[in-house]
Chain A
Amino acid sequence: MIKQRACAGTLESSDIYVEVAPAAAGSGLALDITSVVFAQFGEEIERVIRETLQDLEIADADVRVSDRGAVDCTIRARVETAVRRGKGEE
Chain B
Amino acid sequence: MRRSMLFLPGNSPNILLNANFLGSDSIILDLEDAVAPTEKDSARILVRNAIQSLGYTKEIIVRINPIDSPYWKKDLETIVAVKPDMIMPTKVSGAEDIKTIAAYIGKLEDELGLEQGKIKLIPLIETALGVERAFEIASADPRVTCIFLGGEDFTADLRCVRTKPGNEIFYARSRMVVAARAAGVEVMDTPWTDVEDYEGLIEDAKLAKSLGFSGKASISPRHIPFINEVFSPTEAEIQYAKDVMETIEKAKAEGKGVVSLRGKMIDAPIVNRARQVLETAEAIKEGR
A binding-site residues for B, Cβ under 8 Å: 8-9, 12-15, 70-74, 76-78, 80-81, 84-85, 90
Asked whether A70 and B13 contact (CB < 8 A) given A76-B49, A77-B46, A77-B49, the answer is yes
Among A9, A71, A77, A90, the most chain B Cβ lie within 10 Å of the Cβ of A77
Asked whether A73 and B41 contact (CB < 8 A) given A12-B14, A14-B13, A14-B17, the answer is no
Q: Is B45 an interface residue (CB 8 A)?
A: yes
Q: Is B234 an interface residue (CB 8 A)?
A: no
28 contacts between A and B (CB under 8 A): A8-B42, A12-B13, A12-B14, A14-B13, A14-B14, A14-B17, A15-B14, A70-B13, A71-B13, A71-B53, A72-B53, A73-B50, A73-B52, A73-B54, A74-B49, A76-B49, A77-B46, A77-B48, A77-B49, A77-B50, A78-B46, A81-B41, A81-B42, A81-B45, A81-B46, A84-B41, A85-B41, A90-B41
Given the complex of chains A and B, what is the CA–CA distance between A70 and B50 in angstroms? 12
Say yes or no: B42 contacts A9, CB within 8 Å: yes
Say yes or no: B50 contacts A78, CB within 8 Å: no
The chain A residue with its CB closest to the CB of B38 is A90
Among B14, B41, B42, B53, the most chain A Cβ lie within 10 Å of the Cβ of B42
Given the complex of chains A and B, what is the CA–CA distance between A90 and B41 in angstroms? 7
- Number of B interface residues in the complex (CB < 8 A): 14
Among B12, B14, B48, the most chain A Cβ lie within 10 Å of the Cβ of B14
Query: Which residue from A71, A80, A85, A90 sits with its C-beta under 8 Å from B17?
Result: A71
CB of B66 to closest CB in A, whole Å: 19
Give the residues from 7 to 59 in chain B that come closer than 8 angstroms, CB to CB, to chain A.
12-14, 17, 41-42, 45-46, 48-50, 52-54
Given the complex of chains A and B, what is the CA–CA distance between A85 and B14 in angstroms? 23
Given the complex of chains A and B, what is the CA–CA distance between A13 and B42 in angstroms? 17
Chain B residues, Cβ within 8 Å of A84: 41, 45
The chain A residue with its CB closest to the CB of B41 is A90
Given the complex of chains A and B, what is the CA–CA distance between A77 and B17 in angstroms? 14
Chain A residues, Cβ within 8 Å of B53: 71-73
CB of B133 to closest CB in A, whole Å: 34
Q: In the A-B complex, list the 7 residue pairs whose CB atoms are closest, starting with the nearest.
A: A73-B53, A14-B14, A73-B49, A77-B46, A90-B41, A74-B13, A77-B49
